[in-house]
Structure 1
Amino acid sequence: MKKESIIISLIIAAVLLTVFNQFQILKVNSYLQNSNSFTTGLATGVKSVNALDVVPKGIPEVYGKELGINYDEISVNNPQKADLTIRKLALFDNSINLDGDLLERYIQITNSISCEYCCGAEAITFSNGQAACGCAHSYAMRGLAKYLLTKHPEMTNDEILNELGKWKTLFFPDSINAKAQILKENNIELSYINLASNKYRGIEQGNAQGSMVGGC
């Protein structure tokens, strides 16, 4: 009788363990399904990504082929390629001179974005359009702004600022991704202007940290 009781107890324990395991499996599957379906449609070029990965990918639509550059070239995994691409954009900062309406547009655009994770300047240019930061990232953003203003003047100031924001996101992926999370929590649109311009500068204070691509 004692032996039978032990056997029955073991059977009951095995059944309970099986039920518990099945329950845990169902919970895990449910969690994975919810996690995989969590995507956010973002404006201005940020495609269906989760809030922790807003890094642009692929070839810039307007100017990528004509300059032979690709967003994917800016990566911590290939610093030499990243530096070459940054230098390619930076060359335009010294080789293109602006005046008149184009200079006014340039000042408006470049006064709206900074390189705060690197040099800490209020913007990448002063109010007169002169360079306010000497880091490679700022040279690249100023160079791209000058190139787009002269070669694609049909682009609006916001469209050009949006492009500068994409490259800044590539330069500081961890910091911008941290900022994206804060913006999302505050129901703010995850456009590259909101992510990278001075519009919400400092909103992620205390959360921005991590890798930087390209040298200061």
Structure 2
Amino acid sequence: MEKQNKSSLSDISYEKWDKEFVAQIVIVAILALLLAYNFGRSGTGTSGTYSSGSSANILPSVSAAEIVPSGTPAIYGDELGVKYDDINPSNQRLADATIEKLSSYEGEVLSEEFMERYIIIGSSISCEYCCGAEALIFSNGERACGCAHSYSMRGLAKYLLMNHGDEMTDLQILEELGKWKVLFFPGIHMKKAAVLKANNIDHTDYVNLASNKYRGIEEQALTSSGSSGGMVGGC
């Protein structure tokens, strides 16, 4: 009887061990599937990752429609004969012609009052993705960058000050320059917008997106955001 009891206990012990072993295998398999699924999600899409402190995080998705302006500028578009849509990577000739139109006022001499405002505006934005200058102008108002994009932004700033300076604030003029800068460099601004969004900063505000306010924040992006479009127009 004692031998039989030992045998029964042994059978129960083995049966219990088998069930525990199977359960462990099932748990490991489920965990492996979950890890594979999450890895697959992080490896697809157009977001990429960004660095926040010592950890890497998934970049939120940002569409071109959120940040790339389109249509005709409300105040000056018809006056200068320009549209945001004219800066298009598929039509470099039109893009260059539009940049030339915006640049046509770059050589104008401003009044002392407008020059003070021009220096504030021009010092707040740069063409860092092309010529790498700290700003469009030096502190005395002289050109700090000789690329075509900088010429166009300086020209537009002067035009708006001379013709609409009484109705537009410095911030509004800076915002307009930012819109064109996004059009000149759509790809990098898509990445920058995603990083701004990840940091809970309004990525649709062109001062946040294109001025020197958050210059370099896109460097937090550890991988490509998947956006397309490099520089548009000659540098």
TM-score (norm 1): 0.74
Deviations 1:36-89 (A, max 9, x none): xxxxxxxxxxxxxx7231110000011001111000000110000000000011
* Residues 1:90 and 2:109 aligned together: no
The residue that corresponds to 2:149 in the other structure is 137
Which runs of 4 or more aligned residues in structure 1 lie more than 3 Å from their structure 2 counterparts after TM superposition? 206-210
2:201: which partner in 1?
188
CA deviation map 1:177-199 (0-9, x unaligned): 11000000011012000000000
Could you tell me whether the CA contact under 8 Å between 2:89 and 2:229 is conserved in 1? no
Percent identical: 60
Q: What displacement does 1:101 show?
A: 1.0
Partner of 1:51: 62
Are the equivalent residues in 2 in contact too, given 1:52–1:180 (CA < 8 A)? no
* 1:127 partnered with 2:139: yes
State the partner residue of 1:117: 129
Partner residue in 1 for 2:214: 200
Give 5+ residue unaligned stretches, structure 2.
Answer: 1-60
Alignment-mate amino acid for residue 124 of structure 1: L
Instruction: Map 1:1-216 onto structure 2 (within 5 A).
Output: 51-53=62-64, 54-94=67-107, 96-153=108-165, 154-190=167-203, 191-205=205-219, 207=221, 211-216=230-235
C-alpha contact (below 8 Å) 2:126/2:133 kept by paired residues: yes
**Matched-pair contact (CA < 8 Å) for 2:195–2:220:** no
Q: Which has the larger radius of gyration?
A: 2
Task: Supply the distance in 1 between the matched residues of 2:109 and 2:63 (Cα, whole angstroms).
Answer: 38
Q: Which amino acid aligns with 2:188?
A: S
What is the deviation of 1:215? 1.2
Question: Unmatched 5+ residue regions in structure 1?
Answer: 1-49
Query: What CA distance in whole angstroms lies between the structure 2 residues aligned with 1:212 and 1:181?
Result: 18
Q: Deviations over 1:119-144 (max 9, x none)?
A: 00000100000000000000000000
What is the deviation of 1:91?
A: 1.3
Aligned length: 167
Taking structure 1 as reference, are residues 210 and 59 closer, same or farther at Cα in structure 2, changes over 3 Å only? closer
CA distance in 2, matches of 1:74, 1:161: 18
TM-score norm. by structure 2 comes to: 0.69
Q: Is the 8 A contact 1:52 1:178 kept in 2?
A: no
Cα distance per residue 1:96-151 (max 9 Å; x no partner) = 11131100000000000000000000001000000000000000000000000000
For the aligned residues, what is the CA RMSD? 1.6
CA distance in 1, matches of 2:220, 2:62: 18
- 8 A Cα contact 1:90 1:141, kept in partner: yes
